[in-house]
Structure 1
């Protein structure tokens, strides 16, 4: 009589071990994807969400430079016109 091994013997232990690795690996992958998705703004399909309030658009940066006095009114208007009429 064989006690404790069942019909498959050692192979049943190997198959169970591989299945456990696959199960826990998929759980870890799921946790990783969910954490990455909530932290970086990843949409899950390879793209990204639109820029949030931390990103400035070019017109806002230009307006800030004009307000600080880094550029004069002529340069501001010329650059603003160039930004709005991009090809």
Structure 2
């Protein structure tokens, strides 16, 4: 004699199997949708191409003059004279 329910599968077993299968498919579909959205957003927010080469800003004339003094290219007297000229003051006799 053959029994269809001889492995202890009761109504609870069938119900739990059905719920777990629905949960599995729901999680699988949710994962695929989340992955597609993430990839779509990543492509929209891709980094912009680097800007064209922009020449670096030149330092201020007073800064260049101070650097030349620091390197020893000019003497302090010459530095003061040139600084006066840059600032619009009349050069002092030295």
TM-score by length of 1: 0.39
Q: If you compute each CA radius of gyration, which structure gives the higher value, 1 or 2?
A: 2
